[in-house]
Chain A
């Protein structure tokens, strides 16, 4: 089975791109599975079911979505293999821009949209920087200049990335993305593979349920801002 990991900010068009990609891939829908990692709620499972794709959704809830991803992706792969999929797609919404649910040796795709502003690529961290392929959506409603500057700014943070423009509504660009993904490698499991980037470190008192504000309540990994006096 092939595993492809998708990440991207909320509402950037990940689900639409994946659905158009599945249509363009020329495989039977029953040979494809999707595992969706989300935070609190998601309605995307309905969209996958509508096109006949099997989907499992997991909610990280109060946990960091990246920690949640890495502790569940192995089981997701086992589920995929048992279900007889040829391709398993993982989709996760990166909320803090530091998210990078990418694994070394596993093809990774970051989806970002043109409407998020031309400088956004420069502000997104590992989620964009560590991706093999960057899919840009919503290019049909901004000016050519903004599209070009956006792509340029992606190159600034990820010089090696392949940029593909995909229209999530019409599917324009999806066949090219499908061709790209053909090269994804076959796997039988993920045991001992490594993430491309450390997940956000967070073992502090707030992780364990502390709610009060004040230095005396703070323990563990903390980072303090510096406020300069004039």
Chain B
């Protein structure tokens, strides 16, 4: 819809009709403390009973409210579109900490999971940071990031406003006091999702599947355990975030099904980068980037043999998980608990 069409609508249509079509418009009036106007009238008529003084506190007059309402409609009128969708991301190599060159360039495509491995302090987080800010030779590594094989103009970089990349790390918390349902509902409405109810349910089910211990829709997000929080964040990123690139910094030991978690993200047409020391995660990825002394030293495609080891690694992982559970429940550990699954 064009700007003129929105203006026409704002002048002629009763407000309740506009709100029925674009529920987010309710916020516009709440933001200006205009909650008591008659929503059966078109905007200008509805404003007739409002004192100029009340509006002037916001630095506005009635004409400006009309203009701002049109801008609001234009900004949020369109349904969540996938204009952020991309097909590939290319890293043009820079240099390591001592100035030595790294790989020339390398491209990741949508649906791929790439793990990043290397000793602590080697520069794994730096690589994630370079991707996040769409480095343009302006970071300490001199790397450049291209999207869909093309350089990104400054203009486009500004336009994206950080929407290209979603991030997940151990340090992230929920800071607001909402239930899981309210939380997901709030995120869905900010995405202007048409089928919000359905998306919320899908997201909730997925999070519960990933988390070891179950939680409810009316559990407060601040009361979720570490594992449950991580599971909800992953499901939310998969189902609700528009960002086509996901960067994960260390999610191990969170008590969730890590392998399944990253598969879900990849299935949602995203490129997933995961910095990890966890063999299960590293080998579940399609490829892994090895970082040495600040630079990318090689990129290894996970071989069939490595994939074949996953079963055995999963068993080891299950053993550790079982031992943790035993300890949690106050049991004592014996060689039998270490060896046997029949103990469970």
Q: Which residues of A contact B (CB under 8 A)?
A: 24, 114-115, 117-118, 122, 125-126, 129-130, 140-149, 151-153, 155-157, 159-160, 162-165, 170, 172-173, 175-176, 179-180, 197-198
Q: Are A163 and B59 in contact (CB under 8 A)?
A: no
Q: Are A176 and B173 in contact (CB under 8 A)?
A: no
Q: Are B133 and A115 in contact (CB under 8 A)?
A: no
In the complex, chain B residues whose CB is within 8 Å of the CB of A145 = 183, 186-187, 233, 236-237, 240-241
Contact of A118 with B59 at beta-carbon distance under 8 Å, contacts A140-B172, A157-B31, A170-B129 already known: no
Complex: chain A residue closest to B132, CB-CB: A172
Interface of A is mostly: helix
Q: Are A165 and B174 in contact (CB under 8 A)?
A: no
Q: Are A151 and B161 in contact (CB under 8 A)?
A: yes
Known: A118-B176, A162-B158, A170-B129. 8 other contacts (CB 8 A): A125-B58, A126-B58, A141-B171, A142-B175, A156-B28, A159-B75, A164-B158, A175-B138
Q: Are A122 and B236 in contact (CB under 8 A)?
A: no
How many residues from B make CB contacts under 8 Å with A?
44
Shortest CB-to-CB span from B82 to chain A, Å, is 15
B148 lies within 8 A of chain A by Cβ: no
Among B5-13, B15-23, B162-170, the stretch in contact with A: B162-170
Chain B positions 142-193 with a Cβ under 8 Å from a chain A Cβ: 154, 157-158, 161-162, 166-169, 171-176, 183, 186-187, 190-191
A114 to B76, CA, bound (A): 22
B139 lies within 8 A of chain A by Cβ: yes
Q: Are B241 and A176 in contact (CB under 8 A)?
A: no
Q: Are A117 and B168 in contact (CB under 8 A)?
A: no
Complex: chain B residue closest to A150, CB-CB: B190
Contact of A141 with B172 at beta-carbon distance under 8 Å, contacts A172-B129, A173-B133 already known: yes
Q: Are A126 and B59 in contact (CB under 8 A)?
A: yes
Shortest CB-to-CB span from A20 to chain B, Å, is 12
B52 lies within 8 A of chain A by Cβ: no
A163 to B160, CA, bound (A): 9
Contact of B162 among A151, A157, A179 (CB under 8 A): A151
9 contacts between A and B (CB under 8 A): A114-B175, A118-B176, A122-B31, A143-B173, A151-B161, A163-B161, A164-B162, A175-B139, A179-B157
Query: Which of A148, A163, A172 counts the most B-chain CB atoms under 10 A from its CB?
Result: A148
Q: Are A143 and B233 in contact (CB under 8 A)?
A: yes
Contact of A165 with B129 at beta-carbon distance under 8 Å, contacts A115-B175, A129-B59 already known: no
Contact of A152 among B30, B166, B190 (CB under 8 A): B190
Contact of A144 with B167 at beta-carbon distance under 8 Å, contacts A117-B175, A122-B27, A149-B190 already known: yes
Q: Are B158 and A180 in contact (CB under 8 A)?
A: yes
Complex: chain B residue closest to A180, CB-CB: B158
Q: Are A165 and B162 in contact (CB under 8 A)?
A: yes
A138 to B174, CA, bound (A): 13
Q: Are A156 and B175 in contact (CB under 8 A)?
A: no
In the complex, chain B residues whose CB is within 8 Å of the CB of A176 = 133, 157-158
Contact of A117 among B28, B30, B176, B191 (CB under 8 A): B176
In the complex, chain B residues whose CB is within 8 Å of the CB of A140 = 167, 169, 171-172
Complex: chain B residue closest to A161, CB-CB: B161
B71 lies within 8 A of chain A by Cβ: yes
A114 to B161, CA, bound (A): 15
In the complex, chain B residues whose CB is within 8 Å of the CB of A143 = 172-174, 233, 236
In the complex, chain A residues whose CB is within 8 Å of the CB of B242 = 148
In the complex, chain B residues whose CB is within 8 Å of the CB of A164 = 158, 161-162
B321 lies within 8 A of chain A by Cβ: no
B72 lies within 8 A of chain A by Cβ: yes
Query: Which of B133, B157, B173, B243 counts the most A-chain CB atoms under 10 A from its CB?
Result: B133
Closest 8 CB pairs of A and B: A152-B190, A145-B187, A159-B75, A149-B190, A163-B161, A144-B166, A165-B162, A159-B71
A115 to B174, CA, bound (A): 10
Q: Are A179 and B154 in contact (CB under 8 A)?
A: yes
Complex: chain A residue closest to B30, CB-CB: A122
Q: Are B59 and A156 in contact (CB under 8 A)?
A: no
In the complex, chain A residues whose CB is within 8 Å of the CB of B240 = 145, 148
Shortest CB-to-CB span from B232 to chain A, Å, is 8
In the complex, chain A residues whose CB is within 8 Å of the CB of B166 = 144
Contact of A148 with B172 at beta-carbon distance under 8 Å, contacts A156-B27, A159-B71 already known: no
Q: Are A162 and B233 in contact (CB under 8 A)?
A: no
In the complex, chain B residues whose CB is within 8 Å of the CB of A162 = 158, 161
A115 to B173, CA, bound (A): 10
Shortest CB-to-CB span from A152 to chain B, Å, is 4
